[in-house]
Amino acid sequence: MTAYKIKIDEDAVKDIGEISDWYNKRSPNLGSKFKKSLKIQINTLKLNVYSSSLRYNKVRCLIMKKFPFLIHYKIDEINNTVVVFAVIHTSRNPDVWNERDKKN
């Protein structure tokens, strides 16, 4: 079984920061809990890249546990890399990441 590397795109890093800040304003340390949960789930992709459903144009979405977000990623088979390019609330229209998808 091949272990994949994880690459988090700068737009996804921005998403994570904004989400974490929003949660911290609601409750102390909730943003840290979000980040910890996100990290654990993203790391599961290292050995299980195909565990999430294929949703759009080679984009897979991993549903977060405990938080209502989808982790949008693509698999780069040539470089054995998972590229996370968006973390978006499940209530948002998925079209919000179309521009990001075009550059990935």
Strand bridging mode 81-89 / 59-63? unpaired
Contacts of 64 (CB under 8 A, 6+ apart): 37, 38, 41, 70, 71
Task: Give residue 82's pLDDT.
Answer: 95
Classified by CATH at the fold level, domain 5-103 comes out as YaeB-like fold (3.30.2310)
State how far the Cα of 34 lies from the Cα of 52, in Å rounded to an integer: 20
Domain residue limits, the chain: 5-103
pLDDT in 10s for each residue of the chain, 104 residues:
678 999 999 999 999 999 999 999 999 999 999 999 999 999 999 988 988 988 888 899 999 999 999 999 999 999 999 999 999 988 876 666 555 555 55
Provide DSSP, 11-61: HHHHHHHHHHHHHHHHSTTHHHHHHHHHHHHHHHTTT-TTSSEEEETTEEE
